[in-house]
Amino acid sequence: MPLTRPDILFIMTDQQRFDTIAALGNPHIYTPNIDRLVQRGIAFSNAYATCPVCVAARYMIRTGCEPATTRVFSNAKADPVAGQPVQMEARCGPYLGRVMSGLDYRTFGIGKFHTYPWDEDVGYETLWRSEETYHPPKREGDDYGAWLAREHPEFDFLEQPMGERSEMYYLPQRSPLPAELGTEWWMADRAVEEIAKSDDARPFFGFISFVGPHPPLAPPIPFNRMYDPDRMPEAALGKLEEDHLDEEIPYMRYAVWGNAINATLTKIVKARYYGEITYLDHCFGRILDAIEARPNSEYTLVCFFSDHGDLLGDHHGWQKQNFFEAACRVPFLLSWPSTLPAGTIRNELISLADLFGIATQAGGECQLREGMDVLKMLRGECTPREYLLGMVEVPGSHNFKVMVLTDEWKYIFMANGGREQLFNRRRDQNELSNCISSAPGIRNDLYAMAVRSCRTPGAIDALNGDKFRAFPFRRRPLRRIYQFDRSRGVLGFPDKPEDALQSFDRARLKPVK
């Protein structure tokens, strides 16, 4: 360990699959700056979002606690169980930004934090927000949205400057903004400014949370035309009835208009997704340059990760909130040249909850909460975890599901219908062959492990004695997700087409002051 505490920078992307880094084996994508970080440190090949959905993953990261404690099992918060404090920080402890400030770090947060309420205090001394959607009554509370309107009013007419959502969610688009005005570029500008500050003797802890490559997939010129769709890898498809055992997948496929996407369009969408990642990589490169330009940059700890992945057409589905690898496995890179080896790949099981311990251990006062001490493990001073447990949806509810992951196997139980999946991770990396019938002993062992792990106050409602609660299978009523600019009063499609012109005509006829 260095004598002085390191500067620490966490960089998170949104909805980036684990298999989207050139240096880690994807020959179809161009990620020179993420590759630099791979070469600068350690890549963990078995890192997972144990609750692979935006809000739940973010609360895990900022609290260091798993969903049974945060009570966030989806993009909504569940009520605490008996005995748990109502407030999140009372239940889990102070948020990571607040803890690092208490350790005498200069703290800053930049980007998407996706909290409820949307403007929740997440504990950073300096905070620059750029959320993916704008909240009523005005968008001035969003720092990026306000900056774009103030500095570039010619683009203020845009309702969705990051690309159109709703029915366009998974349709290939081009950004309505030039690259240097996009939110990722703006975040990189803010990060470079914060990293360069020299008027504070404290080390810094920074958290940069990119919006991309989360849909809509609208990379700016020239990133929108970097990838030929015909050269994109094929989607991994199993039998439809097996891929859709998790009812969440066909439900969400309909909700985001994924049922309109054929095999050819899937490749076009993937090409734009890769374009988003390369744009993000380009912006990240400027941040990495700023780090490496600092004196003693080898003492800076950089951690790069994502909150979850995206099926992106695999298993006849889109989105996340399921336990297929494409949705729950994430990139996870850790670089600290003065302390950790470079160009190394590790296979231990890693959870997003471990990030809390990485930051606080490096900062001089380790708080593990419900994670593992990764830095101590890398020094050979503690054993790796034997398994990971994942949960989605509230324990005891119809849509609850649980995952147990070991080095060799993945077991998934779904309360909806009592359905099960078992995959051999070594022999079946695309998860196309369900081994529930062929490996009953493995199934029983992992089922029992999952039951034992759920005997905690926040998860015990999933159990009925020594078994998981199961419910008769049901399909949820299909519905679409509508995401318009609520800050301007746009809530959805109008009942009558002509209704959409009312506000347009009022604005056009408004007298000029």
* C-alpha closest to that of 59 among 47, 50, 49, 67: 67
CA atoms within 13 A on the CB side of 7: 24
User: Which residues lie closer than 8 Å to 359 by C-beta, 6 or more apart?
Assistant: 8, 10, 96, 99, 100, 205
CA–CA gap between residue 68 and residue 62 (Å, rounded) = 15
Q: Please classify residue 411 by burial: count the beta carbons closer than 10 Å to its beta carbon, then call 0-12 exposed, 13-18 middle and 19+ buried.
A: buried
Q: Whole-model pTM? A: 0.96
* C-alpha closest to that of 211 among 193, 188, 195: 188
Q: Check: CB of residue 132 under 8 Å from CB of residue 219.
A: no
Q: Check: CB of residue 366 under 8 Å from CB of residue 422.
A: no
The one-character DSSP state at 299 is G
* Both tokens assigned to 360: 């606080």
In a structure prediction context, what are the per-residue pLDDT tens digits for the chain, which is 513 residues long?
344 799 999 999 999 999 999 999 999 999 999 999 999 999 999 999 999 999 999 999 999 999 999 999 999 999 999 999 999 999 999 999 999 999 999 999 999 999 988 899 999 999 999 999 988 777 888 999 999 999 999 999 999 999 999 999 999 999 999 999 999 999 999 999 999 998 899 999 999 999 999 999 999 999 999 999 999 999 999 999 999 999 999 999 999 999 999 999 999 999 999 999 999 999 999 999 999 999 899 999 999 999 999 999 999 999 999 999 999 999 999 999 999 999 999 999 999 999 999 999 999 999 999 999 999 999 999 999 999 999 999 999 999 999 999 999 999 999 999 999 999 999 999 999 999 999 999 999 999 999 999 999 999 999 999 999 999 999 999 999 999 998 888 989 999 998 888 877 766 666 555
Matching residue, tokens 């609290």:
63
3-class state of residue 99 by DSSP? helix
Q: Domain residues of the chain, as ranges? A: 8-161+172-227+263-385
What's the CATH superfamily of 8-161+172-227+263-385?
Alkaline Phosphatase, subunit A (3.40.720.10)
- Strand bridging mode 463-464 / 42-48: unpaired
Q: Check: CB of residue 91 under 8 Å from CB of residue 84.
A: yes
